[in-house]
Amino acid sequence: MAIQMPFPSSNFNQDSPKQVMYYALALALAIHLIRRLIQIYLEYQRDSAFGKRHGCNPPPELPKKWPLGIDRIKELWDSNTEGRLLAFLCGIAKDYDPRNNLTQYLLFGPRAFHVLHPKNLESVLSTNFQVFIDYGFGARRSVFSPLLGNGIFTQEGLAWKHSRDLLRKQFIRIQYHNLDLFREHVHNLIERLPVQGDVDLQPLFFSFTLDTTTALLFGKSVYSLRENIDQAVENKVFSESFNLAQEGLAKRFRLAPWHFLYSPKDFRQACSNVHQFVERYIDDLNLSTGQETGEKSYDFINQLAKESSSKRDLRDQLLNVLLAGRDTTACCLSWTMQATKTTMLPTGGGPDGDSPILVRKGELVVFSQYVNSRTKNIYGPDADSFRPERWEGQELAGIGWAYFPFNGGPRQCLGEDFAMMEVSYTIVRLLKSSIITLPAMEKNEPIGSERQLLTLVLSSADGCRVTVKRLHQGLGVRWHCRFGSCRQYRGDSLKTWTSQPQGTCWLNHPEFLPKYVKRARVLVWGYNANIASLSGKTTSSDRILHHAQTLVAQLQADRETYNLYLSLTGRNCGEAEPLHPQAALAYSASRTGAKIEHIHGIYTCTFAILFFGTPHNGSSKARLLGSLHKLASISLPRKIVDLDSALLSALEEESETLQNITDQFAPLISNFRIFFFWEQEKTDLKYTKDYIVDETSAAPIIDNTERSGIPSNHSGMCKFDNSTSQGFRIAISALRRYSRDAPQVIEGRWIKMVETMRENRRHEAAEVLKATSIAQDFHSLSTLK
């Protein structure tokens, strides 16, 4: 009996096409895999043959106890958590120094070589560079792109070469010897230091480099050192967002090649804020029309804009330079290169360390400026010691590629000169202004054992805490425009500067002074300037000296209240007003006694004076008003009309009072920048029109002073309602020029004043001691008699 097997169900016939497809896909995958394995094998054999032809030998391998080097990963993780990662890497390097100078890691991912020998560094950075044909940056572009986009730090090949050439032109144009690039921001840095006490310098340095770099790139600083003082809101948002974005990049960098796992909302928002901030500066350039601001401070962004293809291209380049200028001057942690083709390193392989090393395509080459700068076979057994004199003489002559703080070869830092000047100038200014010591309770860590924080750059995990004692408390940076003695005929000091009927006060309107002199602080000082009174109003009974002393007191109070040490004095004559600024400065200059020397500081810290229609030689109208006074006193009782005859006499042409003030001020005038303005339109005096203060009295011809007329009458010559008006443009140009030049001059004056006052006190003390000694000797002689 035959047994028949049942035929498979009809489902087999229905599913067989799918199964055939699956089999085909599996077969194709297997063929591809086998083909790929054969390719890898052939490439490996080809690379091995290449290495054999060139005598390559593998370097010593880092010992591992656990599979895949998990024990080494744990050591790296633990040392990083403790803030000792670089010290740990230096310890590993010592095991292969001086014999081999190179270590090999075999952990997760491709094999990596840690380059120590200068010849290998030269090969990677220069000899075999060739626009990075041999080596590329691997995942670096995608790690940094959320913030930096497509810029010089994320580009390779021809795109990188184009960016390099473009930026090099701009850095060549920078005049590094012009310390104006740094002066204001160093002032701000010093001003953040306590007069005496402990401070963490590290966050201040990061803010300082952000301020200098934004000023260089955008022509305007974000003034992060002015945070919580007078920093603009948008600048504060940018500073905070830039810091947050950098922290995010550091986390993505540590996660590479799994960086895409980190992209939280606050990181994306921070990057967006930074982009928008930079784009606002670009929009101000009017790229579409090719217009420029015309300001020299905008040279970098203007010149870069000319050769950028789009707003986004310009934005990315600016952000790349900003990142470098803000942080990487401190220390670049390490560089990781990925071989784009099979190549070799010239030395470090084999038992003696002299053979070339084969680097296969896809393998990594890592080097660290920190580790390489501490190799004992080059720097000596005291490589870890702080001994700057090692750079003197011939000890390290010809060191070459063993020292590369700014990288080397085609990718050498473009901002090297800028960074060196910035650091040098800042250190010198800090040492000149302060005594810096280690805080009493702060432990003095041995060099190299300090805890470190590794992000995109190297910084101290515990900050940089020091004790500061300011040598010259007056070396402040909060320079401001002080507009003193500002009054109107009826005594309203603010209205003197306010145009009518628009009500525009150019001292505080955002489209006038604050727009052009960003850091202006205005003191509007007034006094009762009525020289005539009707219906019992009080006249100005104080004399000129009294007003001058009051002005000095107000300036000193303002300086101490707001910690301001630099002044630009602007000055208006609401009516024919006497010379209060001259009298005030002459009075201040004479105050040198021990208990009143602070008043002398007003004279020391005044840089410039702008005179608007001031009667230096008096006014003929004062004499006319005096005659009216005599007539009024005959026909009207004093309780109805009261004129200050003493003040009128002081205002008359060639008056003795004005002459005395001029004589007192004349020896001092060379210490100030002076700008005289006179009225070019006559004032309506009801029955006639005439100049209140004529040109010869308002603007005497004196060497090294500036003069200009203003197309207005006397009361209107300091009221500007249009930022394009001739008078405003001349005045604001002078103020900007003075505010730029003042800090360095005032600093030198202040130092000299402090030293002079100390010398005066020493002489006074010596005189007292001498007098005491004479008295004692006389008393002794009297006793003997």
CATH 1.10.1760, domain 480-742, yes or no: no
C-alpha distance from residue 56 to each of 47, 401, 763 (Å): 11, 22, 78
Query: What is the number of other CB atoms lying within 10 angstroms of the CB of residue 674?
Result: 17
Bridge partners of 608? 568, 673
d(CA 80, CA 211): 30
As given in the structure block, the two tokens for residue 598 are 């602070």
Query: What is the number of other CB atoms lying within 10 angstroms of the CB of residue 541?
Result: 12
Closest CA to 335 of 286, 288, 382, 369: 369
d(CA 227, CA 223): 7
Tell me, what's the pLDDT at 666? 61
Tell me, what's the pLDDT at 623? 46
Ranges for all domains in the chain classified under CATH 1.10.630.10: 156-333+414-442
C-alpha distance from residue 758 to each of 288, 486, 496, 767 (Å): 60, 35, 41, 14
Q: Are strands 706-710 and 673-679 parallel, antiparallel or unpaired?
A: parallel
Q: Helix (H, G, I), strand (E, B), or coil: what is residue 472?
A: coil
Tell me, what's the pLDDT at 267? 93
d(CA 87, CA 371): 8
Ranges for all domains in the chain classified under CATH 3.40.50: 480-742
Q: Where are the beta strands (DSSP E) in 28-117?
A: 102-105, 112-115
Tell me, what's the pLDDT at 492? 55
Angle, vertex CA 665, rays to CA 573 and CA 663, nearest 5: 105
d(CA 403, CA 691): 72
CATH of domain 156-333+414-442: 1.10.630.10
d(CA 105, CA 61): 7
Residues 6+ apart with CB under 8 A from 136: 156, 337, 338, 339, 340
Closest CA to 552 of 480, 610, 600: 600
Tell me, what's the pLDDT at 565? 42
215 Cα distance to chain centroid? 7
442 Cα distance to chain centroid? 29
Tell me, what's the pLDDT at 705? 86
Quickly list H helices, 394-522. Answer: 416-433, 513-516
Q: What is the mean pLDDT of each run of 10 residues along the chain (785 residues)?
A: 50 64 86 90 91 89 79 82 83 69 63 84 80 68 88 83 84 69 86 87 88 85 75 77 85 78 91 91 62 53 82 89 68 61 86 86 84 84 86 83 84 84 88 87 78 77 87 46 41 70 80 74 54 42 54 59 45 44 67 73 79 68 45 43 45 52 62 86 80 83 87 86 87 83 78 80 77 67 57
C-alpha distance from residue 141 to each of 176, 253, 288, 412, 504 (Å): 31, 10, 29, 19, 52
Radius of gyration in angstroms for the set of CA atoms belonging to the chain, rounded to a whole number? 37
Residues 6+ apart with CB under 8 A from 495: 488
Q: Where are the beta strands (DSSP E) in 535-646?
A: 567-572, 606-612, 641-643
Measure the CA dihedral 298/303/304/305, to 10°.
90
C-alpha distance from residue 280 to each of 283, 315, 735 (Å): 5, 10, 26
Tell me, what's the pLDDT at 275? 93
Q: How deeply is 559 buried, as exposed, middle or buried, from its count of CB atoms within 10 A (0-12, 13-18, 19+)?
A: buried
d(CA 372, CA 429): 31
Q: Where are the beta strands (DSSP E) in 395-548?
A: 434-437, 452-454, 458-460, 465-470, 480-484, 498-499, 504-505, 532-534
The dihedral region occupied by 407, where left means phi > 0, alpha psi between -120 and 50, and beta the remainder, is left
Residues 6+ apart with CB under 8 A from 131: 156, 157, 158, 160, 161, 410
Tell me, what's the pLDDT at 271? 93
Q: How many residues does the chain have?
A: 785
C-alpha distance from residue 531 to each of 537, 577, 625 (Å): 10, 10, 9
Per the listing, tokens 């804009």 go with 305
Measure the CA dihedral 78/80/86/91, to 10°.
0
In the chain, DSSP finds a helix count (H) and a strand count (E) of: 24, 23
- What is the identity of the amino acid at 133? I
d(CA 196, CA 470): 6
Closest CA to 344 of 537, 146, 113: 113
As a whole number of Å, the end-to-end CA separation of the chain is 166
Angle, vertex CA 26, rays to CA 21 and CA 29, nearest 5: 125
Tell me, what's the pLDDT at 476? 38
